[in-house]
């Protein structure tokens, strides 16, 4: 499946596919040795948790970095050369406002719905008013935790 994807979608040749698979297998071999030693020292559960945390951080970092690079390059394409300082200055200020209003909207949705899961929908909050409002997010009695100091679990 991966070779078909690499050849058809990415346009990789036979030599590139062979090198790619050798790099993947070599990395997997070294990783299995390193994480085997970690499992011996830390225990299996802690090693798996560490692996998950590392994967989450890598994915979030790649996503944020990709968004940052793509959005700045797109803005560069649309910005008139004579006004580039103004436009990129506005871009920087908008980023600062997003770091304030993002958590604020998340907290408001959390307060309104009483659900951590529904708070994740905060990026869609501006469009919710047009699509039926917050009625679909009103908390049901069974969604409220019995203990007010108890938060919802991740896997619940």
Structural domain span for residue 146: 85-156
Number of domains in the chain: 3
**Interval 13-36 mean pLDDT:** 92
Q: What is the DSSP string of 119-145?
A: HTTGGGHHHHGGGTGGGGGPPPGGGS-
Residues 117 and 146 in one domain: yes
Helix, strand, coil percentages, rounded to 5, for the chain: 80, 0, 20
pTM over the 0.75 mark: no
pLDDT tens readout for residues 55-72: 888 888 877 777 777 777
User: In this structure, what are the phi and psi dihedrals at residue 109, rounded to the nearest 5 degrees?
Assistant: -65, -40
Residues 133 and 123 in one domain: yes
Q: How many Å apart are CA 17 and CA 4, to the nearest integer?
A: 10
Q: How many Å apart are CA 29 and CA 105, to the nearest integer?
A: 45
Residues 103 and 118 in one domain: yes
**Interval 26-48 mean pLDDT:** 92
């Amino acid at each position: 499946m991966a070779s078909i994807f690499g050849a058809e979608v990415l346009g990789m040749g036979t030599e590139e596919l062979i090198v790619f698979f050798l790099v993947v297998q070599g990395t997997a071999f070294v990783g299995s040795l390193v994480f085997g030693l970690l499992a011996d020292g830390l225990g299996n559960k802690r090693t798996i948790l560490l692996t998950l945390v590392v994967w989450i951080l890598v994915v979030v970092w790649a996503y944020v970095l990709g968004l940052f690079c793509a959005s700045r390059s797109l803005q560069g394409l649309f910005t008139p050369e004579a006004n580039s300082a103004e436009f990129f200055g506005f871009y920087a200020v908008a980023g600062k406002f997003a770091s304030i209003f993002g958590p604020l909207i998340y907290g408001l949705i959390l307060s309104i719905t009483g659900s951590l899961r529904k708070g994740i929908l905060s990026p869609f909050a501006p469009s919710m008013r047009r699509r039926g409002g917050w009625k679909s997010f009103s908390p049901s009695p069974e969604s409220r935790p019995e203990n007010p100091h108890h938060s919802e679990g991740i896997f619940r």
